[in-house]
Amino acid sequence: MNQASEDTNSALNMRKVALTALAGTSIEWYDFFLYGAAAALIFPTAFFGEVNPSTALILSLLTFAAGFIARPIGGIIFGHFGDRIGRKKTLVIALILMGVASTLIGLLPTYAMIGVAAPIILTILRFAQGLAIGGQWGGAMLLVTESAPSNQRGFYGAYAQAGVPIGVILANLAYIITGSLMSDESFYVWGWRIPFLASAILIGLSMYIQLTMEDTKAFQELQAAREDQQARGYQNNNIIKKSPIIEAIKKYPGRISLAAGAFLSVQVTFYILIAFMLAYGVTSAGMERDEMLFAVLIGSAIMTPALFFFSSYSDRNGRKGVFIMGAVLTAIWSFALFPLVDTGNFWLSVLGITGGLVFLSMMYGPQAAFFTELFTTDLRYSGANLGYQTGAILGGAFAPTIATMLWTDFDIFWVSVYIAFASLLTVFSVMALTETYKIDLNRKNI
């Protein structure tokens, strides 16, 4: 086979890996975000119907937070096995777990049917969703970034990241389409279940990945080195680690903490934009449910190509500069966001939400490559995943709940201050990290 044919096959295989990762993350995040919209619009009535509406909304958003509490636990569990048995197998398990949990939410009886057991089971299933997301991101992200050419890690990493806005689009479309096909009463009684039941498709995608894809070359080389060391009898050699997650924490405590800090701005702002904003726009600005869903959908659609643009930019100019600029612009935009939505004008609300999501893409796009490059192959799944999921729980878990409390107890202005403060912490964290875009992923030390 000549060089041209090899290059063509390599490019085709890379596209297959990238598109498969995009499909997996899109459906996985679809499930995760279905819950976010339902927690703001459906679950307060369906599962917390005996308390006043404000308390029901807060309780519902607290079950939303359960998924974030589970994410670092999922990151630890899946990170351990991702560094031990491979990226692909771990991703498949995470996808199956999400598919099963989301389908069961669609089948769950309401509070009126089984009483207090309903919100308890709902919280457990949300926790399972969080475990799945805790494992999914690391597997999908490493499949693409470890397989990508060294000068395109940012671009291909964006395929794993683009699953987030595409998941939001799919989740919002699912609710919009389902709601348009039936009366509001039917939608709130049983129609909301249909998008959750569709999650069973993840199980089929998991089987496709398991049967048709190989693990990354970086992990295969690591595994071969481990087997060679074992054959030689060097059981205590550095390359053979019983607990990668403990090794990662011992070796990179500062780097994991800074990676978590780098993720704060994205998480706080994102979940305010896609979850809290649904309730705020309907309640405060008097907008319709579908108007807010469409506004988030349009913003997410524009965010998707922005992710690829800024990721490609980071391949040429570095990760840190664009990341920091995104955090600064997010902080500034937070003070324009709510006045735009408060007008009650659909297109001004779209502008507010879209601006926030585009500025977030300056951080979230390059993040996959950035976090990949921070750690060595043997600890990469554990280190990158733990930094990502710790940032998720610190930033995203309670963002809608905190925003609701600041809004109801004080003023919406303080929600903007909250976003700006998180963005400032992100700026400091990224400044403390080293630039990574030119490093060798197969290095043994950093």
CA pair distance 207, 264, nearest whole angstrom:
34
pLDDT in tens, the chain (446 residues): 555 555 555 666 777 778 877 877 787 778 777 887 788 778 888 888 777 777 888 888 788 778 878 877 887 787 667 666 666 677 778 878 888 888 899 898 988 888 888 888 988 998 998 888 877 777 777 778 877 888 888 899 898 889 888 888 888 788 888 888 888 788 888 888 888 888 777 667 666 665 565 555 555 555 555 555 555 555 554 444 566 778 878 888 889 999 999 999 999 999 899 878 888 888 887 888 788 888 988 999 999 999 999 999 999 999 999 999 999 999 999 999 999 999 989 999 999 999 999 999 999 999 988 988 888 877 787 888 888 878 887 887 778 888 888 988 888 999 999 999 999 999 999 999 988 888 877 655 55
CA pair distance 41, 196, nearest whole angstrom:
15
CA pair distance 152, 313, nearest whole angstrom:
10
The full set of domains in the chain, from first to last, is 17-220+244-431 (1.20.1250.20)
Whole-number CA gyration radius for the chain: 21
Residue 35: alpha-carbon gap to chain centroid:
13
The CB density around residue 332, as the number of other CB atoms within 10 Å, is: 13
Listed residue (303, 341, 296) closest to 171, CA to CA: 296
CA angle 220, 367, 157 (to 5 degrees): 50
Listed residue (403, 398, 394) closest to 341, CA to CA: 403
* Cα→Cα distances 11→17, 158, 162, 255, 311, Å: 10, 16, 20, 33, 19
CA pair distance 95, 79, nearest whole angstrom:
15
